[in-house]
Amino acid sequence: MTGLPDQLRRPVRGMRDWMPQQLYALRRMEEVLSSVAEQYGYRRVETPVVEHFEVLAKKAGQEVINEIYYFRDKAGRELGLRFDMTVPIARVLSYNLDLPRPVRWYYFSKVFRYDEPQHGRYREFFQFGVELIGSASPRADAEVIQLLAASLEAAGASKYVIRINDRRAVDKLLESLGALSHRDAVYRALDKKLKLPREEVIGIMTSGGVSRDAAEKIYDTASEMSLDEAVEVLRRLDGRLGEAYAKFVKYLEAAVPMERFKFDMSIVRGLDYYTGVVFEAFVGDYWLAVGGGGRYDDLLELYSGVKIPALGFAIGVERLMEAVGLQSVEKPLDYYIYIFDDDAYKHAVALANRLRKQGHSVVVELGEKNLKDVFEYVLKIGTRYLVLIGRKELEKGVVKIRDLQKREEVEVPLSALLS
């Protein structure tokens, strides 16, 4: 057999095709998540997948810049595919500064990253997320995290935890230890804390210039604790930060059960644009990282020249679908109409159109299959009713309807179906 070689039959590396059942599962997830965002008063936005490379690169950090799909168009413009929705939305805000703030937006969109593909890691994937733009209030932090928890629950995640940190707390800690100038190394090390043994994490810090003593202190302070315990730690680090944090915890407590949350200084998150609270959600028996977000009070100024505080989160949709076991949704055909005789075609079409008007999905046989093949075919594609229109039946003015689930057959007057 000739045709394309196998590797060209498959999608481009890191990308995937969505067969109907999978696509219906994706759409169901889209409906569920969108309706949660809508209930919280968020409205949906979309932007082009292609952005000016400069816009994408502005606040991405080198690691993310390396992952940008970059190209020049025929006019020589330097362009790239969006790697998240936060940056495009920041750009949209920059020329819509008269929008009444706070702005509450959500998205369910494709993003692209030239990542190393592996299980749960694609180069083209969907993100669902929200942005709350124009508020510095700790209530805004609590609202967005509440919305993240509500999204996970609506998606069917019964087991999840949201780990919360505040980059300012980490910075205060570093300041108190005289290690602020080694912030990058510390962030890199903390980011690995859940995956690597203690010595290796400390090693990343010391080889980045942090003293052994400070690295150990940082490691030990960055252990998991309750949000209430964190308030005390933050108070000791910085009075004002501690007070703001206490308020945030109070607001969050009012909205969501506290056992869903942990304070964890090792949650620093990769993207360079975070400035305050950061958080990450883990779901299921394997604690799959399905999403995260945080406050990015400086990002909008980079694009608009105006300081506008904001925060948001993004959920990796494919990951969440995997975590909650939503992989495919069957959508059987309602009616398949088979005619034994070409003369009956007009009756078949009239009946099909009638049923379609009532909202049913209907297929009329194309005349290439015998009855045995049709039976096999309708079962394979998933069908509820097979309608048989034969000459004898037509003379009697009836059709046969076979319920393929119940395996029953009834005769129904055609006039009753058409009226």
Of 20-28, 153-161, 214-222, 286-294: span binding ligand AMP (CB under 6 A): 286-294
CB 44 within 8 Å of CB 108: yes
Q: Give the nearest distance from C-beta 204 to ligand AMP in angstroms.
A: 20
Please tell me whether 113 is known to bind a ligand.
yes
Binding mask 246-285 for ligand AMP (x = CB under 6 A): ------------------------x---------------
Element spanning 166, H or E: strand 160-166
Q: Give the nearest distance from C-beta 107 to ligand AMP in angstroms.
A: 12
Binders of ligand AMP: how many residues, by CB under 6 A?
16
Of 156-164, 168-176, 316-324, 411-419: span binding ligand AMP (CB under 6 A): 316-324
Q: Which residues between 110 and 129 bind ligand AMP (CB under 6 A)?
A: 113, 115, 121-122, 125, 127
Residues in Cβ contact with 414 at an 8 Å cutoff, skipping those fewer than 6 apart:
347, 351, 389, 394, 397, 398, 399
- Contact flag: residue 28 with ligand AMP (CB under 6 A): no
CA distances for 388 relative to 27, 199, 296, 333, 403, angstroms: 33, 73, 63, 15, 11
Q: Give the nearest distance from C-beta 12 to ligand AMP in angstroms.
A: 14
- Contact flag: residue 312 with ligand AMP (CB under 6 A): no
Q: Give the nearest distance from C-beta 311 to ligand AMP in angstroms.
A: 13
Considering only 291, 311, 335, 402, the residue that binds ligand AMP (CB under 6 A) is 291
Q: Which residues between 58 and 87 bind ligand AMP (CB under 6 A)?
A: 84
Helix, strand or coil, per DSSP, at residue 85: coil
Residue by residue, DSSP assigns 325-368 as: T-------EEEEEEESSGGGHHHHHHHHHHHHHTT--EEE--S-
Nearer to ligand AMP, 105 or 385 (CB): 105
Nearer to ligand AMP, 63 or 341 (CB): 63
Q: Give the nearest distance from C-beta 343 to ligand AMP in angstroms.
A: 55
Please tell me whether 354 is known to bind a ligand.
no
CB 276 within 8 Å of CB 295: yes
Nearer to ligand AMP, 102 or 316 (CB): 316
Please tell me whether 212 is known to bind a ligand.
no
Nearer to ligand AMP, 84 or 143 (CB): 84
- Facing residues of 280 across strands? 163, 292
For the chain, how many residues are written? Answer: 419
Alpha-carbon distance 86 to 274, whole Å?
A: 11
- Contact flag: residue 319 with ligand AMP (CB under 6 A): yes
Which residue's CB atom is positioned nearest to ligand AMP?
316
User: Sign of the C-alpha dihedral, residues 44, 250, 176, 192?
Assistant: negative
- Contact flag: residue 289 with ligand AMP (CB under 6 A): yes
Residue 310 zone, left/alpha/beta (φ > 0; ψ -120 to 50; rest): beta
Nearer to ligand AMP, 115 or 298 (CB): 115
Distance of CA 316 to the CA centre of its chain: 4
Nearer to ligand AMP, 290 or 404 (CB): 290
Residue by residue, DSSP assigns 373-417 as: HHHHHHHHH-EEEEEEE-HHHHHHTEEEEEETTTTEEEEEEHHHH
User: Sign of the C-alpha dihedral, residues 250, 264, 237, 301?
Assistant: negative
Please tell me whether 269 is known to bind a ligand.
yes
Nearer to ligand AMP, 114 or 345 (CB): 114
Cis peptide before 102 (omega within 30 of 0): yes
Q: Give the nearest distance from C-beta 21 to ligand AMP in angstroms.
A: 20
Closest by alpha carbon to 394, among 409, 414, 374, 410?
A: 414
Radius of gyration of the chain measured on its C-alpha atoms = 28
Please tell me whether 86 is known to bind a ligand.
yes
> In this structure, are strands 333-339 and 362-364 parallel, antiparallel, or unpaired?
parallel
CB 239 within 8 Å of CB 247: no
Tokens 């890691």 sit on residue:
121
Nearer to ligand AMP, 118 or 415 (CB): 118
Please tell me whether 127 is known to bind a ligand.
yes
Binding residues for L-histidine: 84-86, 113, 127, 131, 269, 273-274
Binding residues: 84-86, 113, 127, 131, 269, 273-274
Q: Which residues bind ligand AMP (CB under 6 A)?
A: 84, 113, 115, 121-122, 125, 127, 270, 289-292, 314, 316, 318-319
